[in-house]
Structure 1
């Protein structure tokens, strides 16, 4: 593992290139969980059952979206490599085909997801009281999925071209629109949880339209056709398969946590929704460095600069640990009050406060895991990431299975569930750290060959 904190923040020569991408990416990423937190705060005023329904449906939607995260991550790495090799046009061509793949996957998912929605909600263990809220939110929000996947693919294109500013502006704009619409539809027009879902649909559709315009303009500037190519779409899908396997393994962990929390009781699933969103807020902040790493490492390896790739890796890991320590202090300091916007149920409050101790202590490890995951992704080391994610998932599942046995409903098992999650994070840290310490991932050229 690289030596940590070898130079003061902002004084290391690599800090400028890291921060140029990481800072706007940070604000773009945290805008997403902030808008989810706003949704939760608004829906929470409808009651514990509505908040639990948002948690169940949100986990389904996040799973569907994250299964397609290769549209962003794979595109970032591929475009960055071609950009580093001086092949910007072919990089944009890859991105355009990725956008078409996003449209196809989004349409197919909506068509399949609508009739399966009741089964998906039941599979996550929603109680009879929570079920109607979850089903309503899920069916409406499914309509936003094609737009969300377009946003993912478009973000990957621009970040691969080392442009993090435009994704920031689009993310902030669409999420601010979602907040305003959510308050209007739910609290003013009294549409209930359906109003929150419709706000998401409208805001994400607008964001997708902006990405199509920006990428279209770049394609025309470089003489790239906007029509899809069968070979390009197929190549984008094939390249994303390993990332798909990786993401499935990660999402299994998160879905299992939601299912167990739902079976522990309604207060547990409501509290888990809040804690998960707070965790996501912190992870997205740490992931800003990881996504910068995708673009930076892809560019270095595309230019056949392994020394630069090693140096950037070391410095980004140092930043991950430093930010993790800052977040540990921040969570512990704010912990007594963070429940206030979400619930007035004393049972839910107590569960949130207990689980947040685990979340706080995990932050430095989370910083290392997020950064190394992004670096290996930028290097095109998807096969290793897929296998590592699969094995760490298998480590997690036995610990998770013990939670309901050791914690019957009403006994505070949510903290034990998050402790099982900590075991999974530790396993990820070991597998990623061992890989980064070697040299097998340092493959150079415009194509990683993997």
Structure 2
């Protein structure tokens, strides 16, 4: 695990709103050191599904369609519980800032135990209901058996996937984003090899792809647990076993801290589902262009989320150390990073528009709809950059209840605007302007909160 850098005292600045250049440079170095590996780990995660798709795609169209349905269900089941990483990062980093590494590890272990319990419940729910879930998502009669088979087998890896989320949060809280990158790359490599060996070498077909993913995810979980155990033995040599034992009070506290972030995540998922449903109602051309646009949007989100992850770790540590001024200075610097990165990404999207269309489709109508939607995406990126950063700052501060309410308000604003798009016209471009309005609504709520300073609550726990 990486050594924990000391808190930066922003009080040395003559102007509290503008820390001296040396402090800003230290902020910059720390943001880059945390964000770059985090970005690599974030990008590695969707490669699991890409490898599965590439391998299974050669088995046939029905198998690939079945994988598509099952992967969507599996991804949703896991991503809904991303709070296991975010809440754990915030809680652990606070205790790191307070200088109590054994307590930080104990807090992280509670998060891992919560992940294991949630994972077991999800498996118990998915195994008997897999065929019904597949039918609910509209799988064809030929694809449904393959989807059910893949989903049932892959569900066995859900506890490991959730434990990986929680353990990643532990390491991020300890200011270590390199280890998650190494583990993610190793997991991706093992998954690719196992897929090829089991699908074709062993002749297991789509089931072999599912088993490869399960084995790789469990291997990743085992590596993370080894890292956490070693950290516990090093930081609490006389009481490391008690650190690793499940603590019901601690697990309940992790669950309570995670509920607001779960509400936030579900609200955001609802926004994306509404947008996809509206695009589907606009016709095949619109939904095809929307899917490509959403793919580009997601890729951009990985880059911006990496800065947000750095924000979670840094802000939590400052507040845990009782340095509210340092936290506000770091927040200000990260907002600048988010804005600049958003502008750069927006320019890149504008420049890449002529290439993106032909890369995904040969249909002129889809390309035309895509071109307009991508322009809206490009214009929204500076706002998105600030929104992602502020979301990370407030998450790191443990300000989950505000994030939940803010995202619910955003959903209430977005939904009627999106549903009226087919009535007033404007097609897919109008829908993506509604997505831009959604980001502006989030920006307004998060900006007001950041300016109020009420998020900067200091102490080892909020």
Q: Contact between 2:24 and 2:333, CA under 8 Å: does it hold in 1?
A: no
Pick from 426, 442, 447: which aligns with 2:456?
442
Pick from 237, 240, 254: which aligns with 1:224?
240
Equivalent position SS for 1:335 = helix
- 2:374 is equivalent to residue 360 of structure 1: no
- 2:441 is equivalent to residue 427 of structure 1: yes
**C-alpha displacement of 1:370:** 0.7
Equivalent position SS for 1:228 = coil
**C-alpha displacement of 1:419:** 3.2
- 2:313 is equivalent to residue 295 of structure 1: yes
Question: Which residue of 2 is the match for residue 240 of structure 1?
Answer: 258
* Map 1:250-289 → 2, pairs under 5 A: 250-261=268-279, 272-289=290-307
* Map 1:136-147 → 2, pairs under 5 A: 137-147=150-160
Q: Contact between 1:323 and 1:367, CA under 8 Å: does it hold in 2?
A: yes
- 2:328 is equivalent to residue 335 of structure 1: no
Take 1:175 and 1:326, find their aligned partners in 2: how far apart are those partners?
29
- 2:405 is equivalent to residue 387 of structure 1: yes
Pick from 89, 108, 130: which aligns with 2:121?
108
Higher relative contact order (CA 8 A, sep 6+): 1
Take 1:119 and 1:292, find their aligned partners in 2: how far apart are those partners?
40
Take 1:114 and 1:233, find their aligned partners in 2: how far apart are those partners?
25
Q: Contact between 2:164 and 2:220, CA under 8 Å: does it hold in 1?
A: yes
Unaligned runs of 5+ in 1: none
Take 1:264 and 1:192, find their aligned partners in 2: how far apart are those partners?
36
Take 1:248 and 1:74, find their aligned partners in 2: how far apart are those partners?
15
Q: Contact between 2:19 and 2:329, CA under 8 Å: does it hold in 1?
A: no
Take 1:354 and 1:164, find their aligned partners in 2: how far apart are those partners?
36
Question: Which residue of 1 is the match for residue 217 of structure 2?
Answer: 204
- 2:190 is equivalent to residue 177 of structure 1: yes
Take 2:450 and 2:150, find their aligned partners in 1: how far apart are those partners?
41
Equivalent position SS for 2:355 = coil
Question: Which residue of 1 is the match for residue 80 of structure 2?
Answer: 67
| Cα distance, 1:69–1:234 mapped onto 2, change above 3 Å | same
Query: What TM-score do the two structures reach when normalised by structure 2?
Result: 0.83
Name whichever of 306-315 and 9-18 sits farther off: 9-18
**C-alpha displacement of 1:331:** 2.3
Q: Contact between 2:48 and 2:213, CA under 8 Å: does it hold in 1?
A: no
Measured against aligned partners, the alpha-carbon deviations of 1:79-105 in whole angstroms (never above 9, x if no partner) come to 100110011111111111111111110
Q: Contact between 2:307 and 2:338, CA under 8 Å: does it hold in 1?
A: yes
| Cα distance, 1:185–1:78 mapped onto 2, change above 3 Å | same
Take 1:333 and 1:102, find their aligned partners in 2: how far apart are those partners?
42
| Cα distance, 1:248–1:142 mapped onto 2, change above 3 Å | same
Pick from 28, 49, 66: which aligns with 1:15?
28
- 2:167 is equivalent to residue 151 of structure 1: no
User: How many residue pairs get matched?
Assistant: 442
Take 1:305 and 1:168, find their aligned partners in 2: how far apart are those partners?
29
| Cα distance, 1:91–1:200 mapped onto 2, change above 3 Å | same
Q: Contact between 1:51 and 1:270, CA under 8 Å: does it hold in 2?
A: no
- 2:394 is equivalent to residue 376 of structure 1: yes
| Cα distance, 1:113–1:82 mapped onto 2, change above 3 Å | same
* Map 1:120-139 → 2, pairs under 5 A: 120-124=133-137, 135=148, 137-139=150-152
**C-alpha displacement of 1:74:** 0.6
Equivalent position SS for 2:339 = helix
Unaligned runs of 5+ in 2: 1-16
Name whichever of 182-191 and 307-316 sits farther off: 182-191
Q: Contact between 1:48 and 1:267, CA under 8 Å: does it hold in 2?
A: no
Measured against aligned partners, the alpha-carbon deviations of 1:401-423 in whole angstroms (never above 9, x if no partner) come to 2345567xxxx954444333222
Query: What TM-score do the two structures reach when normalised by structure 1?
Result: 0.86
Q: Contact between 1:124 and 1:258, CA under 8 Å: does it hold in 2?
A: no
Question: Which residue of 1 is the match for residue 417 of structure 2?
Answer: 399
Q: Contact between 1:102 and 1:153, CA under 8 Å: does it hold in 2?
A: yes
| Cα distance, 1:53–1:199 mapped onto 2, change above 3 Å | same
Question: Which residue of 2 is the match for residue 312 of structure 1?
Answer: 330
**C-alpha displacement of 1:265:** 5.8
Measured against aligned partners, the alpha-carbon deviations of 1:109-145 in whole angstroms (never above 9, x if no partner) come to 1111233344444555667777666555544432321
Equivalent position SS for 1:444 = coil
Q: Contact between 1:52 and 1:273, CA under 8 Å: does it hold in 2?
A: no
| Cα distance, 1:357–1:116 mapped onto 2, change above 3 Å | farther
Take 1:404 and 1:122, find their aligned partners in 2: how far apart are those partners?
27
